[in-house]
Structures are given as structure tokens and as C-alpha cells.
Structure 1
């Protein structure tokens, strides 16, 4: 409740009592006007004054003649639940003070505006002021009826009305509108909400909101006009809104939401801009419900414009002491490449950062663009200039009830006292959104306490960041299993990651724990703690295993697209209960439980980290480890993977090429063990079972798979739409895979030579809430006689 501006009155200076009812303040002035008008001589002269005065008295109750009053006591009538001191505070004047008619009217208006009273009368009676009020009733309880799609708890949190607070009809009407808007966000735009009261004894009421939800306002069809470069299907995959269909119960974004449609316009603009269409414009969006239809038809009218590429890239300096030649290499833009404004923004950020590191404050880089319509190029001149001398006074953060301020502040490269850089502030806002902790992020700059300062306001709206899941699993070759997991991406509001999980079945059990601090010491340093323990029983092989590791790691950036993670670890492994007759495995089992330590690194290069919405990207990963320290075998192990993905035929087809390999070299004299060697998984070369290829002990009764010290694989894949509506997320693909596992230590009588395997096949891809599923059929076209095939496969597709 908002208090009136007049406060601090000490009610002990007043005589507050209950009095009788005489002529009111307004009534006395009405009688005076009648008497005045009854005089025929004055009647014509005062008619205009009377009309004006009457109008004023209606608009402003309680306004009288220009006279003053002094009251020694106040008499309040009609109070029930509200204290007399509350009424006194709204009057706003003290005992014995001279009060004009205007000030008396102001007091009346404050009492009315307080929202506490249904009726208010102010009656001057000599030295006594009589205040007659009729209180609004108190709300006994609040009920919501007729709601099914939205639960009571969700809606009650949105209301301003509260049980045991004063009922206010205007507030109840606003609450009804708030409930209707909540339904509108869920696609129930036609929902109607009516507030009603049920009167109870002792001036109390039950407040009831009657809800008529109406039908769900689905989007039946989304169309585009004016698009030439990209098909309707491709553009429908860009926007967030989806069409409803026979699988509408699985689709959450098929309800019509005007706010989402506006967001879709921005997504389309970003999509076209990143592909060189700098003049793109979503001219209009129409949404209508055709006759005899109960769903919306949404149509986007767009203007693509001309596609541009980068032309000549130059750098000039207008700041004394700064040599432009030292900044030219920071642009990293190739002439002839597709124009992308995000590329320009990142070049500017690198140049401005370099200027700051050289000690030049308040330096700005302005991109000066020259259009060449004929050849479709844009020449960019990066001009290094002096910017305004404005500093950041402070950064204010609001809305983060759980998340600590430092988590948000860590996304800013700017701190209080630094030169104000709008680009750096915008980049920080994008990083805050990318955290995934907030449903909405609004970052604005406003003038500070002096003309040369600004205040950065960060307003966030938190959302859930934890998940708990229980379910079943099924994997080919492993059967049915059980899964239990808990994860929290913003642990205790500190921005930390915590995960505990278990999965397993009759023949396999895996326990995992992970913790990460992404901003160690307030810098871009990710501290990780990981532990895993795994057990397998004879049902998945001819022997049991147990293995585990604990790892402490530190990850940091080496460039915009490259990161390095270094780690130290301890590990254990064991082979036991072997029931076969392979001499190789028997010898490895005899070595018993092994404990060892080691360390290593992982370097990843990912062009998607630069934030560019490009149709192509490159990903590479290289690992190197030294292990077995303290065990009976020391080893050096490394793996590498590289993937290039691009889109062809106006981005209708996705092409992917992947190569990977690994090597394990034993340093001690005992050689590697099967638990350390490479076993090709079904996803690495489709068409073969897990451990279905590679060296085998053919002298053993069961042709035991032994794994290999080396492996290599290459995959070519193409994914394309098959005519189904885009909202179903179903597409098809074809692929060709090749690979091999080979090489052993101290394994006489085993053929561990390199034999190439190959397969071809087709797949269906389905984007589901748990990830992109792949259903594949692969036919091995090259294999060894002892290899184990697995032609049908179901897996979560990684894209690599």
C-alpha cells in the first residue's frame, strides 16, 4: 500500500472521538448558493460563477469558499478494522493549524486514493472536523474457479489482492486482467475472467475469480511471402513459433502468442543478416482466424534485398599515437566472404581491447561502410577515433532473488570507473542471457549523478535451473536399465554446476559425480571435479570389470574459439571372474586390481563459440594423457577428432564430415590391458556392434574381442527434410562410415593387423525433448568374418 505524502502526524495532539451527524461541508455550501441565487438583483450577475463553481464542486468534492479552518479535534465515524491513526496520517495537518478549503479537499482526495474506504465524507463543524468513512471489507479468502490449464498456485502468485488485506474493486479488476493475460501467454487468448465477491459476517468477503478458459488458439499455418533465397520450410525452422498438427500434444510452441511472433521477426532478421542480406525487413505480419476455423493463420511479408559480401577491409587512426598498421591484423575478415554484422562487431571488440591494453582510454572504433551495389560488396573502413569521456559510475542488478550479484557481474568486462563502451555492455547482456539462469534479461544505461557518468541497470527474471529425473533406459546389446539423476546449473545461486547420477541394469552399473565452478577467482577459469565408478558383470561379457577415476581439472580460453583443459587424475581398473580360455585375457586378469595416477589435457577448437549464426562450422578436439603412474604399466594415450558441418542447396541439406583416431603406447614392460584399450562403439562406425570389430583371440573358444591400441574412423553424412511439417522435427539422412581397431602388446597368436571396415545406410532423425534421436539401418560392405554386426541402431545423435 502506498502511503500518502503527508506523514509523521502525532495523534496524541488530537482529540479523536465519536460525534453526531449534522450538515456536511458540501451541504452548507449548496444552501449558501441557493440563498445567493434567490436574490433577483444578484441572480444574473452570478449565474456564470455559479455554473463554474458547481462544476468544480462535482469534480472535486469538498472544495468550498476561499476560507480557512482551525480544528482542535477530529471525530471519526465508521471505523471497524482500520486504526484512527491511519486516517489521521492521510489528513496531513496538525492541531490548530490554519487549513484552507483547498487543503481540506486535498485531505479528502488522499483518503479516497488510499484504497481503504468505499465512501468518504469530511464535515467541518466549528473547531471539530468530522470524518465519516465506510470501509472496504477485508478479504477472507481468494478462490479461482474454472481453471484447468493453469494451476491455482501459478495464478495466486500473480495477484495483488491478498487474503486478510482490504478488498479493493479496482485491484480485483486488474487481477482479473492479469489472469487473462497469463492465459493469453499460453495461447488461450479468448479466456474470460470475472471477479465476484461473496459477503461474509464482520465485514468480510470471499473473492472469487471465475475463469472461462476457452479454446486453445493454435497456429494452423505459417506462411511467408517475398522470400526467394530460402524456402518456407527453412524459414519455419528459424522461428520459434510452430504449426500445430496431428502431433500437437508434443509441440509447446504451436499456440498463438503475439509476443512470440514479434520475437520471431527478430530471429528472421538475425538469420538473414548473418547471411549477407543487410537490407532485410519483415514488412508486415498478419494473423487472422478464417471463417469456420478455430486456429490462427500467420503470414510474414518479408523483403530480402540484395546479398552482400565483404569487399575491401582497411583501418585508419584518427588518434595521435595509435598506428593503424598495428590493428589491421585484428580484423580477421577475408574479402569475398559473406557479410555478417557479428563478424564486424567482433573485429571492433578486438581493436578496442587492444587500444585499452596499449593505455588509450576512451577510444572507439567506428565501422565506415561503403556499398558497392553493382558487385554486391561492402567495403569496411575501421576508424579508430576518440570517444566521449564517459565512465561507468556503477552497475545495478535487480531481480536476482537467488543468483548472487557476482555471478552476473562476472559477465561484464567493464567495471565501475572504466570508460563506458556500449558494445561491451551489449556483449555482456548476451553473455548473461547465454547463462540460461534467467527467463528475461534487460540491460540499459542511464545518466549518472554527473554529465560524464552513466549507470548500467541490469534487470533479470530468474527461472528454474535444476532438474531431477527418474526413468528407464534401453540400449542395444545392454538391454533394459534404470536411470536416476539430479543436476543443478546454478547451485546455491553461485553459478556452479552440480550433477549426481546413476544408471544401470542387471549387467552394468555406473555412478557419476560432477561439480564445476565456471568463474574461479572472478576470471574465465573453470574448475572441475569429476568422479566415476563403473561395474560390469558376466552378462555383458565373459568377465567382470570394475573401473573408476577421480579428476581435478582447470579449463581456460586460449583464443576466441579455442579452450584448453588441464587435469590430474587417479584411476583404478580390474578384471575378474573370467570364464573363457583366452591366454591374453587370462594374463591381464592375473595382474589384479591396478591403481594409478596421471594427468593430461584437452584442447577444443569450435567456431560456434564466436557467436556467429553461420551455416558452416568447424570443431576439433585433441587429448593427451599420461597414466598408470604407480601401477604396473605406464602409458601415453592420445585421441583426435575433427568435424566440418555445412549446409547446401539453400540450407535444405546438412552435410557433415568427421575423422577421428587414437593411439595408446605402453611405457612399462607389461603392455596394455583390455580395460585401457580402444573399443569401437556402434556410433563410431554404424553397422557393427559394440566391440564388434578389431583384434580377436581366434584361438579361444568364444573369439573374445580384445580391443586395440590404435583406432581410426571417418564418417560422411547428409541430412535432409522428407516433406513432413517442420514442427515434427523429423528428417532423414544417408551415410557412409569406415574405420578400424588394431594393434596389441604381447599377444602371440592374435591377428592384430589393420583391416578396414565400411558400411553404408540410411537414418531417420527426430528432435525430441531428450535430444536428437537417430534411428539407423546400416549395411556393412566391408568386414572380417569374425566381426559382429548390428544393422539396426537407436542412439542420441551428436552431430559428429
Structure 2
């Protein structure tokens, strides 16, 4: 036994003396190295390299000719060579006084391809992987590519996807890299739940967020899949919704998404703490700047005592106060809102503190991600530029403007330290989205029958932020052509410029006994008077109207109209071509939360049009409209609407009005009546001749159907309409009376109707059906109980 122990010790000592070692790092294959401790490398020989220069291999070694080396040097050299990703195998062995480095180069990628992918095309997947053609193949990079591909599929809503890389050998140490993909089924959101919500139901909060539950129409949308970025955006949408509804203490405690791998669905749960709902008890403006009078700024504030607390109004007030004070010479002034809560009475006292802020300047504005949109389109949305005083409120305002453009999927505006303590760098990161649309429309209405249109529109034309639309349409009795152009920043200023060219041909139908061909165009300038809320549009329009009698195509006046005794003399008087040249202005006030589908806010307009700048028409037309929306029962989605509109037109000088210039009223203003079914009418020809004055009012409530799933997009409406059209032009009335006719319903007489309707936001476009029953009408009025309209866009 002692002899055996001695022999074993001798072997260990010998091994230690010779410094034998074996190293097998991670790679595509095994490797080894045997060196002698304290040996001297007289020379270094590189073998096995084909494409890689010998000098490149030697540059990564820590072993140098003429210097001693040990096991540590061999280990460091091996690690350095493998870290390059150029080699599949490396061996370092001593041979006499030389060190031999034997390498096996990684193969060159000849081609990268994908198989089995349908939902994501090859171009999209190639942007995800790092492996590329004519690059070295490495295991680490391939494994990273697999994970990146899986993440891309997860973001597209396919958590069951699998990816398997395949390597196909080619000649001359080249390989094809093939990713075999099983995309799997779409991983939908089975259920969205809310915990802690007492003031608003789950269904109401589901309408606030963008993520949707998978339903019958899930194949038409992508928002019913789990996306972590969308979930984060949903949390912000919930906060904004509660803050705008008065819940200043609202918090999201957690937002989780649990994946059930067996059924391949997600369960999303938001846990919230609503807090109390507050109203504003009082509002005060306090200034530490000696030359700023707080009382003079109270008119700028958008929050009033007695209102429900609204964080958006507070933010807008801060921005407006900041701009007003800056205009007074305080470029560095800051406005800080402070809220003092009265928990017992559930009120908030708001104080806006105006004080001198730190003197910091904008060093530069970096914009990233605008591959298509011109940089100046983004920069003009900022009220500050390089060299200006830095102000956070103006930065937040610019971010909101960029989001409202509709050009970008995501917008992020952040700041970083500049080259000096008083310098700030503004970083703008955007992700562009498609802004063009090729649309085909088809629909039906009880007025015009089958109608259709084709249009091409672009909201960001050539990346300049301009809107362009070209469209043609037609139906059983109509044809239309249009061209529209919008420039939101005319001559570099926040002044909108619009240009429209159009032609509309309307033939004789059940609602009119004549043909009309209208061709013209116009332009206008829109000036902001109070940010985005109050605007003034100044416009000019010129158009030619050609009214003809189908029974006598060449008729140009009353004397030529005897061929058609059923046509009103008032219309006969309007036969022929007439040129109208008019200037106009319109004031618009808009606080709607959504212009297309509003649920809260107020909209009002007042405008006048003067015709007589050349041409054949001479009149002054005045119109006004007001609409108010409010959520009556938020939990049930009931939105109330009150609307009123009216107008007056009068001929100027000795010129009389024509039928085409007067107001017409019918099914669009007071439902339950035909188009042009209300107002002055010729008793002989039974033709509507219009009136100089009108008014209409509507009370309406819209709500989603409680039983039918939301995926169907069905909602209902109940309404009550009232209105009247009266006072035809005296000269026009005399023409009728002196030519064997009589104008009836020329006095003010109230018409009223009640009804119910169905709205369907179908996959094929919006459809609308209204049933209305006239409660008050005149004997000569034309009624219409059912009205259908709608269309589609592909």
C-alpha cells in the first residue's frame, strides 16, 4: 500500500511538473490544449485557417514568440479566439519549442430562409434575426435569432409559435440556415376583468382601453391579442379616464396577463383603487412675479368652481397660463398646479402658482424614427426651438399635438442633460404608421338608391403633413367628382389652408322634377383664435349651377318651360346656368372628446356667406349650429345629445333668390319627412321651392344593445326632432302666383317627430336605419316613416 501511494504521488508530481491540461470550452465541438508550464514559445504556427489571415489569429493570442507562457496564457488565448465567433474549434498544443494553433473556421452562411411562415413575411422576419448571408455562422447568434423570432410572434399575438433552426451543408465550408416555423394559432384575450371598480362597470372600462376580448369578429382586428406595450398604454388610458371624471386619487394596483397554455388564451386583470370623486370648490391664481397680475389671468383658466375635477382641463390651463406669462416677458416662468383635498366634502381647491423657474435652455431637439415624415413637420408642433427657454409644459403640449396628428403609432418626448448644467436636450422618438388609404364604397339610401364611390386619400402627402384626396362616386341618379387639399401650416404659420374642386350631377328623381349640374371650387384659411378650441375660417367659393328640365332640355327660363306643366314656375324661373361667387367666414368652437363619435363636449358654429363678388347671385346667408353631448348613464353607454341649428338668407338689391339658393328641409334635419318634404311648396307642381328661414332641433340618446355582443357593433337610438322652414322669397312667390300656382306652407309652422333607430358599425361600414313618426305636420308636407342609409370602405 505504501508503495502504491508513493507511485501515485510520483505520477501527480510528474503531471504537475509537465503542466499537462485539457480544456473543453463551449462551442460547436470539443477542443484541447497541452502546454508546458514555464515553457518558452520560440515560434507560433497557425494551421487550419482558410479565409482568415494568420495575423488575425495571432492578434487574439496572449502568447508571444520568445516569451514564456503557462496554462493561464493558453486559457486566455482560447477564450479570446472563441469570443470572435469565427471558429468552431480551436486547439493550442506545444510541439518542441513551437506552439501550434489549430483552428476550424465556422462556416459561411450562404442563405438565410424561413419556412412555414404565413402571418409574418420573410422581409419582416429578416429584420429580426442577426444571422445574415455572407456572415459567419455561430451557435450563440442562431440561438439568439430563435428567441427574437419567438418574441416577434408573441408580439403579433401567437404565443404557441415554435422555431427550429436547420443547417444544410454546402460546398467550400458554406451552409444554408433555415428556420422552420410553426406559427400556431392566434393567442387571444379570453377575458378582461376589473377588480375594485365600483363607479364604472367592466363593460364601460373595456370601452376605454384598446385591448379587446376575442369574439365572433376577432378575425377582423389585432387588438384582441396580448401585447405588453398595449397593456401599458391601457393603464395610462384608464388613468386619464378616471382623472377626467373627477377621481383624482385613482390608482392602478396591478395589471396582469395570465397565459393558459392548454387553451392558448390570456386572462387580463386590472386591479384598481378608484378613490373618491371630487368637484372643484374654488380656483385661485397666485403669482410670485411682481409684474404679473393674477386676476388678469383668471380668464385663461379652464377650471371653474363647481365643475367636476378634470385633469385634462388642469393640464390645458397650465399650458395656457405658461404661454400667456411667457408673452409678457417671463420666458422661464413655471406654472405649478396644486390641489388641496377636502376629504369630508369631496372637493378640491385648485391653486395655480406662477413662479420664476430655473434658467435652462433647449440645446437641441433630436428627432428619431421619422423615415418618411419631414423633420420640419414635427418641429413646427413645438412652441419652442433650439436656444429657447426650456419649459416642460410646452413640451407636454407638443407631445399631445404630435399624437393628435395621426401620423404615428407611438410618440415619446423625453429630455436629457445637455453639454452644460443649464442646457437640455429634447429627444423625440416616433414610430410611423400608414397614412394612405384607397377606399371603395358602396351603400344604399332611400333618397339616392344604390350609391358608390372610389377615393384615394393621403393624410401625410409626401411626408409634408398635407392632406390630399381624389374621389369619384355615383348612384342611380347622381354622379360626383372631388379633389381636396389641406395644408395645416400655410407659409410656415399655424394657419390652415384648404382647396376644394368638385362636380355633382343630380338627375330627376322622386324628390325633384329637374336635373342639376353643379361644378366649382373654393379655398379658405383657418386661423386659431384660442388654441384648438376656437377657430375662424375665411373662405371664397365660386361655382356654376346648371338647372335643366328633362322635358325641355334647352329651356333657359320661365318662357321656355311651357312644355312641362307639372314643373313649378319657380323652378322654371331658375332654369339655365347661374354663376355664384361668394366670400364667407365661420367661427367654430369645439370641445368634443371625439369628433367622429363624441360622448362629451360642445360644438358650435356661426357663419355668414356673401354672394355678389361678381357672378349672377346676390345674397347674404347666415347660419348657426350648436351641439352638446354628455354621458347620461356611463355604465350603460347612454350618450345624450342636444342640437339646434338655424339660418336666414336674403336677396341683396333688386335681385330675387332662386330655388337652388334657398334653404331646403327634410329627412336629415327632421326625421319622418322626405328630403325637401317640409316648407313652402307649389300647390300645382307639388315642388318644394325652399324658404329664407329655417330652424331645427334634436334631442337624441344613443346606447349599445345590452344583450347583443359588442363584437357585432350594434347600438340603438331614440330621438325627437322639431323644426320649420318658411318665408319663401317674395318675388319667387309672385312668379308662382301669377302663373297659375299657389305657394302653400309659407308661414312658420312647427313640425315634430319622434322615433327610434339602429346603428350598426358593421365590418362592411356604418349602416343606419331610422323609424320616425311625425307628430306635427302640414297637409302639403311629404312624410317618410323609414329611412335607411349606409356605406362601406374596403
Shorter-normalised TM-score: what interval? Answer: 0.7 to 0.9
Shift in CA distance, 322/217, structure 1 to aligned 2, threshold 3 Å = same
Aligned residue number for residue 542 of structure 2: 570
Match of 2:351 in 1: 381
Query: Distance between the aligned counterparts of 2:45 and 2:139, measured in 1?
Result: 28
Q: Quick one: structure 1 residues 268 and 587, their matched pair in 2 at CA, closer, same or farther if it must change by over 3 Å?
A: same
**1:608 partner SS:** coil
Q: Does 1:662 pair with 2:647? A: yes
Match of 1:675 among 660, 663, 670: 660
Q: 1:642 aligns with which of 626, 635, 639?
A: 626
Instruction: Provide the C-alpha distance between the structure 1 equivalents of 2:26 and 2:786, rounded to a whole number of angstroms.
Output: 84
What is the deviation of 1:410?
1.1
Q: Per the alignment, do residues 99 and 361 of structure 1 end up closer, same or farther by CA in structure 2, a change over 3 Å counting? A: farther
Matching of residue 725 in structure 1 with residue 709 in structure 2:
yes
Cα distance in 1, alignment partners of residues 138 and 549 from structure 2: 77
Task: Name the structure 1 match of 2:120.
Answer: 150
**Map of 1:275 onto structure 2:** 245
Q: What is the aligned partner in structure 2 of residue 413 from structure 1?
A: 383
Query: 78, 88, 91: which one pairs with 2:49?
Result: 78
Residue 280 of structure 2 is aligned to residue 310 of structure 1:
yes
Q: Which moved more, 1:115-124 or 1:223-232?
A: 115-124
**d(CA) in 1 for partners of 2:770, 2:197:** 34
Cα distance, 1:747–1:70 mapped onto 2, change above 3 Å = farther
Q: Of 582, 587, 602, which residue of structure 2 is paired with 1:598?
A: 582
Cα shift at 1:589: 4.0
Take 1:58 and 1:763, find their aligned partners in 2: how far apart are those partners?
71
SS at 1:170 equivalent: helix
Q: Whole-Å Cα distance in 1 between the matches of residues 384 and 58 of structure 2? A: 46
Aligned residue pair count: 752
8 Å contact from structure 2 (residues 526, 538) kept in 1: yes
Equivalent residue number for residue 547 of structure 1? 518
State the distance in 1 between where 2:654 and 2:590 align. 38
Give the distance between the partners of 1:124 and 1:316, measured in 2 at CA. Answer: 84
1:594/1:138 Cα in 2 relative to 1: closer, same or farther (>3 Å)?
Answer: farther
- Superposition pairs for residues 356-375 of structure 1, below 5 Å? 356-375=326-345
Shift of 1:154: 3.4
TM-score by length of 1: 0.85
Q: Return the offset for 1:601.
A: 1.4
1:254-276 superposed Cα distances (whole Å, 9 cap, x missing partner)? 23334333322222111111111
Indicate if the aligned counterparts of 1:90 and 1:111 stay in contact, CA closer than 8 A: no
Offset at residue 121 of structure 1 (A): 5.3
Determine the C-alpha separation between the residues in 2 that align with 1:70 and 1:355.
80
Measure how far apart 1:438 and its partner are.
1.3
* Aligned equivalent of 1:214, options 163, 181, 184: 184
Unaligned runs of 5+ in 2: 1-6, 552-563, 735-741
Cα deviation, 1:317-350, whole Å, max 9, x if unaligned, reads 3345444344344334212211122222222222
Offset of residue 732 of structure 1: 1.6
CA distance in 2, matches of 1:107, 1:390: 51
346-355 vs 393-402, which deviates more? 346-355
Displacement of 1:602: 1.8
Q: Which one of 457, 465, 470 corresponds to residue 427 of structure 2?
A: 457
> Which segment drifts farther, 526-535 or 111-120?
111-120
* CA RMSD, 1 decimal: 3.7
Q: Alpha carbons of 1:793 and 1:64: their partners in 2 closer, same or farther (altered >3 Å)?
A: farther
Cα 1:131–1:394 change in 2 (3 A) is farther
Does the CA contact (< 8 Å) of 2:203 and 2:635 recur in 1? no
Which of these residues, 492, 495, 501, is aligned with residue 522 of structure 1? 492
Deviation of residue 566 (structure 1)? 0.8
1:763 matched residue in structure 2 = 757
Q: CA deviation at 1:117?
A: 3.4
User: Cα distance, 1:103 vs. partner?
Assistant: 9.5
The answer as to whether partners of 2:37 and 2:69 remain within 8 angstroms in 1 is no
- Asked whether the 8 Å contact 1:596–1:631 carries over to 2, the reply is yes
Structure 1 partner of 2:87: 117
Equivalent in 783, 787, 793 of residue 793 of structure 1: 787
Could you give the per-residue CA deviations for residues 547-570 of structure 1, whole angstroms, max 9, x where no partner exists?
Answer: 122112111210131011111222
Residues 289 and 163 (structure 1), Cα distance of their counterparts in 2 relative to 1, 3 Å cut? closer
The answer to whether 1:734 aligns with 2:718 is yes
Pick aligned residue for 1:747 from 723, 733, 736 = 733
Listed as ranges, the matches of 1:140-219 within 5 Å are 140-219=110-189
Give the conservation status (yes or no) of the 8 Å contact 1:399–1:459. yes
In the TM superposition, what is the alpha-carbon distance from 1:499 to its structure 2 partner? 0.6
Check the 8 A contact 2:41/2:98 in 1, yes or no: no
Which stretch has the larger CA shift, 119-128 or 569-578? 119-128
User: Do 2:579 and 2:617's aligned partners in 1 also have CA atoms closer than 8 Å?
Assistant: no
One of 699, 716, 727 as aligned partner of 2:684: 699
Confirm or deny: 8 A CA contact 2:286 2:354 kept in the other structure. yes
Shift of the 90–276 alpha-carbon distance from structure 1 to 2, 3 Å rule, reads farther
Contact 1:597 1:629 in 2 (8 A): yes
**Cα deviations across residues 99-119 of structure 1 (Å, max 9, x unaligned)?**
999999877656544434333
CA distance in 2, matches of 1:67, 1:687: 106
- 8 Å CA contact 2:769–2:787 kept in 1: the answer is yes
Aligned to 2:775: 781
Cα distance, 1:424 vs. partner? 1.9
Instruction: Note the C-alpha offset of 1:120.
Output: 4.4
